[in-house]
Structure 1
Amino acid sequence: MLTGVVVAAVLSTILTATWVTVGPLRAVPPTERHAPAAAAPPGPQWSTAWAAAPASGNRTGPPGHTIRNVVHTTIGGPSVRVRLTNRFGAGPVLFGHVTIAVSAHAGGRRDGSDDPSDGTAAPGTMRDVTFNGKTRVTVPAGADALSDPVALDVPVDTDLLISVWTPVRPPVSTYHVDSKDVSFVSPGPADAAADPSNVSFTGRTTSWFYITGVEVTGAAGTIVAFGDSITDGAATTRGLNQRWPDLLAARLAAAPEPDYGVANVGLGGNRLLLDARYPRTEIDSTAGRSGEARFAADVLERPGARTVIILIGINDIMQAPRQGDPAQIIAGLARLAARAKAQGLRVVGVTLMPFQGWGAWSPALDQLRGKVNEWIRAGGDGAFDAVADFDQAIRDPADPRKLRRDYDGGDHLHPNDAGMRALAGAIPLDKL
């Protein structure tokens, strides 16, 4: 039997992450992390407006230059702070100058318009980012750094420019490989972080380097979307911000529910139970550490987090070495849910979607997926506060083992933009 997973028994397994606090960071109490459902409650002091899960260390990318990361907000506010990361570094990284600005171009917006950023800042919005009052900060390997608050009116649903200059070339730069957008690189060694123009930024990258979060004041809290390449938006149109977490933020903005931020911490190829590099630990992988290993840093420590939506496990089923026992995947999902609830978060479980046509598919693997989904649909033996049935929302009615053709991104596993809208529409807003 696959029922009867005892969620409470796994609370003692809660993992911790390594952090370096280099600014005046206030611990976020549980009452702020999980705001009550009553009308117009006071929001948390800080909410996450944008996030990315760092995956690995890049040895061939653009460290030692100025990188102008382009990110898109899900909420806004009058004060902002930035989280840098050296989580996968091989040694300390000196960040010599960090700036934040509103982009002169909004990027892909909820109304379907697209005004791509070109690296130019909106006039009057360029701000230095400081750490404990200083423009320089050294972050040890394996750690993150939180900036001081910056006075900047951050708009909703627009691009921000976060520029990072590393004056001493680090051997490894922590990054998120596929941003589904275009950021900019100033290839010379000089500091270009405060340049509001794009003249110096002649290089391009489709990855985010050294950044893992943007946080604002004045918002109602944050929903954290935790998952793999489907949450990361692998088959969505670059630059349009059509991942299901983006579209969930759009639904919230148009609904009576509070306008929560949505933090996307999906990682392509990510597994629930095993690190992506397993068992070849000498090989770097952009799919990151296991979902269980990264859950604390990517979810539990997100300021303003009140709900986590969990969509993970399909890579455990179809990647070698395959997990052939559905009870192991179920137990892993129950452990994540228990850790989130222990910190006062609500938990939404999400069913695993069909993938017939993908190279690894087999009837046996599909049956395994079905057993995991049976448990999720039933509420996970109490593990989940709500369920979003992504499987039902996107499968072909004529053959439930396949994605609907008009939702298929082309590889029979990853949804396209239309499929992402269907997924976002399957999430019960009143349960968030």
Structure 2
Amino acid sequence: MSMIKRAIAVSLLCVAVAGSAVPPPQRWLRSWASSQQIPEPNNALPEADLKDATLRQIVRISTGGQQVRVIFSNAFGTEPLRIDAAHVALSAGGPTSKIDPASDHALTFDGAPEVTIPAGASYASDLVQLRVPALTSLAITLHLPDAPARQTSHPGSRATSYVIHGNKVRDVELTGAKTIDHWYQIAGVDVLAGYEGSAVVTLGDSITDGNGSTTNGNDRWPDRLADRLQASPATRKVSVLNHGIGGGRLLLDGLGPNALARFDRDVLAQTGVRYLIVLEGVNDLGTFTRDAPQSPEAHAALVRRIIGAYRQIVTRARAAGIKAIGATILPYGGNDYYHPDAQNEADRQAINAWIRERGNFDAVVDFDAVMRDPKNPMRMRADVDKGDHLHPSVAGHRAMGDAVPLSLFK
């Protein structure tokens, strides 16, 4: 063998050996998230409560990992937000402010123990070495020296948070803290996962947000979907991100921004997202005639606009390489708030027919077929109805979570 050939062979061998030692690629994957909004007055904390205040908030992640980072939000703040201390730890479990002290880690931001987040922005902490098993509850604790100029929140947390004066981010338990069932200034938790990890965003209204589920029970339909994904070896690397907002609509703002307005932040900006389930539209239909009847022409125009909004969502998702899954709108006949009539039902049926039509979405989850009363399709089945004929019960959330085929994510 010539000297040149021998040198080439040795070089190739070295490359092969070095290549075999390279660890598999990893990337950040969002494992928990919530939609941000301005809290309505009855859900906002008094300014005095948030001056020199420690907030401890409990969230349940879906996929696990060995390293985590926390994303804080000042999305609706009108001035910079200063957080001068923050920690993350495993929750001790159950509705308590107590943490597992052995897991407690101080968070840093670009190596510093504090951060000032510009108005309208979010900010990710540095990573911390913390083993978090799938479906684990984390306690995120932060100290605010001054109250936000305007709060950024997710009122529909269905999880108890704790607020107390003073810097107590290191305390194992916040004894004497005020309790509130809302989240403030937190937007997400990322885990460092294998490159094949992916996230599914559930974009919706109060049904997705968990109305009818149990506070601190983690039994919303997206939670049930996460449980099922983690129970199957084929889908354990798929996380579920709940981006439901109470009163959410496609076309108009409700308690929070409309679906098209929040699409970039709640879908495209979520790390690792590859799937999207859209369950929106019942509030557009209900509010349309809640206060006064509308003409047939106006009904037809509303249906066209709702379908147009779906088309926009599908187009933007596909452009980002995200599989767009349409979910049919649940029946809401008998609801006293919206009091739908035959024309409202015709609108819902027309929209659901479009969702089911092949090619409009990349796949369909037919929640309507699962939840409707076969004897009266305008209404939800009694055994899955919360009682207001609009929101599912705990059993209804479970039925919805069970109705999503896991094959969509393989």
The answer to whether 1:376 aligns with 2:355 is yes
Please tell me whether the aligned partners of residues 338 and 383 of structure 1 are also in contact (alpha carbons under 8 angstroms): no
SS in 1 for 2:27: coil
Please tell me whether the aligned partners of residues 248 and 258 of structure 2 are also in contact (alpha carbons under 8 angstroms): yes
Cα 1:180/1:271, change in 2 over 3 Å: same
Output one character per residue of 1:191-227: Cα deviation in whole Å (capped at 9) or x when no partner.
Answer: 111212232x521010001001011012522111111
Number of the residue aligned with 2:183 = 208
The answer to whether 1:56 aligns with 2:53 is no
Give the TM-score normalised by the residue count of structure 1: 0.82
Structure 1 unaligned regions, length at least 5: 1-41, 106-115, 277-286
Output one character per residue of 1:239-278: Cα deviation in whole Å (capped at 9) or x when no partner.
Answer: 11111110001111222432111010100101111122xx
Q: Would you tell me which structure has more helix in proportion to its own residues?
A: 2
Number of the residue aligned with 1:193 = 169
Number of the residue aligned with 1:78 = 66
State the 1:58 CA deviation. 6.1
Match of 2:262 among 267, 280, 294: 294
SS in 1 for 2:103: coil
Runs of 4+ in 1 over 6 A off after TM superposition: none
Match of 1:389 among 360, 366, 369: 366
Output one character per residue of 1:395-422: Cα deviation in whole Å (capped at 9) or x when no partner.
Answer: 1111111011010011110001111111
What letter corresponds to residue 355 of structure 1 in structure 2?
Answer: Y
State the 1:71 CA deviation. 0.6
The answer to whether 1:345 aligns with 2:322 is yes
Cα 1:206/1:78, change in 2 over 3 Å: same
Give the TM-score normalised by the residue count of structure 2: 0.86
Match of 1:90 among 78, 95, 99: 78
State the 1:43 CA deviation. 7.4
What letter corresponds to residue 216 of structure 2 in structure 1?
Answer: G
| Structure number with larger C-alpha Rg | 2
The answer to whether 1:148 aligns with 2:131 is no
Please tell me whether the aligned partners of residues 39 and 155 of structure 2 are also in contact (alpha carbons under 8 angstroms): no
Cα 1:43/1:51, change in 2 over 3 Å: farther
Output one character per residue of 1:152-180: Cα deviation in whole Å (capped at 9) or x when no partner.
Answer: 11122221100121102223221000211
State the 1:63 CA deviation. 2.4
Structure 2 unaligned regions, length at least 5: 1-23, 291-297
What letter corresponds to residue 184 of structure 1 in structure 2?
Answer: Y
Please tell me whether the aligned partners of residues 89 and 101 of structure 2 are also in contact (alpha carbons under 8 angstroms): no
Distance across 1 between alignment mates of 2:251 and 2:25: 34
Please tell me whether the aligned partners of residues 275 and 289 of structure 1 are also in contact (alpha carbons under 8 angstroms): yes
Distance across 1 between alignment mates of 2:362 and 2:217: 31
Number of the residue aligned with 1:100 = 88
Distance across 2 between alignment mates of 1:351 and 1:143: 33
Tell which has more relative contact order, 1 or 2 (C-alpha 8 A, sep 6+).
1
Distance across 1 between alignment mates of 2:87 and 2:183: 15
Match of 2:284 among 303, 309, 316: 316
The answer to whether 1:123 aligns with 2:101 is yes
Q: Would you say how many aligned residue pairs link Structure 1 and Structure 2?
A: 366
Distance across 1 between alignment mates of 2:116 and 2:376: 54
